[in-house]
Chains A and B, each alone.
Chain A
Amino acid sequence: MSNEALLPTSSGAERPKTFREFVSAVFKNVYVLYTISIISFLLLWDAASVLNLLGKFLPRPMEVVYQLYDMFLNPLAGKTLLEHLWFSLRRVLIAFAIAVAIGVPIGLSMGFSKYVHAIVKPVFDLFKPMPPIAWISLAILWFGIGETSKIFIIVIGAIVPCIINSYNGIRLVDPELYDCIRMLGGNKRQEVIEVTFPAAFPAIFAGIQISLSMAWTTVLAAELVGAREGMGFIIITGMNVSKPAMIIGGMVVIALTAWAISVAVTHLERWVCPWKTKLE
């Protein structure tokens, strides 16, 4: 909502008197500017396509829409667009659940105990910078090209932010909050329940959020190899059959899904952490 005040409007309460004022009011509305931005992008894209600026493999925006519509109705490799999307989403959700179930406890125990931290940290630091895609070959050798190897790769990608954020969440609790709860008569157990967990919760939740978007990014990489369904499969198929509209269509659906997930998670966060201010 506050976006609307991005540009100063000519005193919102008064109605514009002249045509000039009306036009200037319209162009100061941020949503109008958003629309202009998207339309000009599509126009530039269309022009680039019509003028063959990138060779013959840049479809016009309308062709992408037709392609999406076609895939929505007619199965590709036996499945419609929504079914492909569902396969990808299912992999993401399973792997994400596994990553949270393993990663958060690891991070928490690292935060609670410096012994656990000292034992886990060197190994974790070694694995942390490895891009999850680097595991693909090994995963296929270990688990074959079925679901297990894909989920394994996604878990590898999604688990890192869970561990890091849970650990930091515990470690960065304001020490004065502990002083406070101890002065109020809290024992060790009450310190953990009443301070550590609630204070660390926003950081842990942020980690889970990052983890989910990591999972969504990694699923595509996992599906680029040996998948027979999913959004990654659509993109690879588009390349194999030289249909750039299919590739771009897949990319658009992926972006929209990622956006929908992030909106949903933000709402979830407002519901579970009502104490967090909007600006944070």
Chain B
Amino acid sequence: MENKAGVKKPKIECTNISKFFGEGQERIHVLDTIDLSVKENEFVVILGPGQSGKSTLLKIIAGLYKPSTGHAYLDGKEISQPGPDRGIVFQRYTLFPWKTVMGNVEMGPKLQGMPRKQRRELAGHYINLVGLNGFEKAYPHQLSGGMKQRVGIARAYANNPKVMLLDEPFGQLDAQTRYFMEQETVRIWETEKRTVIFVTNNIEEAVYLGDRIVVLEGKLPGKMKKIYDVNLPRPRDYTDPDFLELRHRITEETELTL
């Protein structure tokens, strides 16, 4: 589905990004000359097998890593450090175990100094959005994997970020929960549109979620291999012939073996 609203300036722009880790003999080349631009409210999936540098790319956009060469921009301003204008969701959930669901979700606004009553209301809204109403007082260890990740999504949303960055968020979930969370992701995204960059190693997940799929090369250093526009109407159906055809095409053309 091409962006309905017509031409938009890029929200995220990556130019010529390469990344090395380590020094001398130990140096590992992780990303090689990545150019990527993401439009406002676009859902871009970065698809690649393990060890393709896709999480590294996400963390560069997050500002957690600095690129070795090249630049990443958000709204035309260079990204140099982490910040609340980008919300991140981690594969390992990474919730604050000593905080309740409410405590986790309200953390962002709290750090910005929003008054308690106001941020509780805001957090409550996002807890509702992800379908966790009634669990405000639960601690993370009392929640299932899928519920933990809902908290992670709500926590990222609560800061009202311009961009959502999701790093294999459903990688640890069982297949059923994973399908369900994919549907939920689309529902949440359609309720509160954001620019989304979603990293995964799962082709089906990529086709289900993405407006565009950026495929990275299967071994280090990660290079852009191909970009697919996904023009399937939403909500998508995993068993729709067009869906399966695209899924098959990506598998064939990129020789991804996952």
Contacts and interface: CB of A to CB of B under 8 A. Distances in A.
Interface of A: 174, 176-177, 179-187, 190, 194-195, 198-199, 201, 273-277
Contact of B98 (A179, A180, A181, A199): A199
Contacts of B97: 275
A248 B209 CA distance: 72
Contacts of B90: 176, 179-180
B198 to A, nearest CB: 16
Interface of B: 62-64, 81-84, 86-88, 90, 92, 94, 96-99, 107-108, 111-112, 139-141, 155, 159
B112 A183 contact: no
Nearest to A274: B139
Contacts, number: 63
B21 to A, nearest CB: 15
B111 A181 contact: yes
A184 B64 contact: no
Given A176-B94, A177-B96, 20 more contacts: A174-B94, A176-B92, A177-B94, A179-B88, A179-B90, A180-B88, A182-B81, A183-B63, A183-B87, A184-B84, A184-B108, A185-B84, A185-B112, A186-B111, A194-B96, A195-B96, A198-B96, A274-B139, A275-B97, A275-B98
Nearest to B97: A275
A199 B96 CA distance: 8
A190 B64 contact: no
A183 B84 contact: yes
A194 B107 contact: yes
B64 A182 contact: yes
A185 B108 contact: yes
Given A201-B98, A275-B141, A183 B62 contact: yes
Contacts of B112: 185
Contact of B107 (A184, A199, A273, A274): A184
Contacts of B86: 183
A182 B92 CA distance: 17
A11 to B, nearest CB: 29
Contacts of A183: 62-64, 82-84, 86-88
Nearest to A277: B141
A199 B159 CA distance: 22
Nearest to B112: A185
Contacts of B94: 174, 176-177, 179-180
Contacts of B83: 183, 185
Contacts of B108: 184-185
A120 to B, nearest CB: 28
A195 B64 CA distance: 17
B62 A184 contact: no
Contacts of A201: 98
Nearest to A197: B98
A202 to B, nearest CB: 9
A273 B63 CA distance: 33
A275 B98 CA distance: 5
B111 A185 contact: yes
18 contacts: A176-B90, A176-B94, A177-B94, A179-B82, A179-B90, A180-B96, A182-B64, A184-B107, A184-B111, A185-B84, A185-B108, A185-B111, A185-B112, A186-B111, A195-B96, A273-B98, A275-B139, A275-B140
B159 A184 contact: yes
A179 B82 CA distance: 8
Contacts of B64: 179, 182-183
A177 B107 CA distance: 12
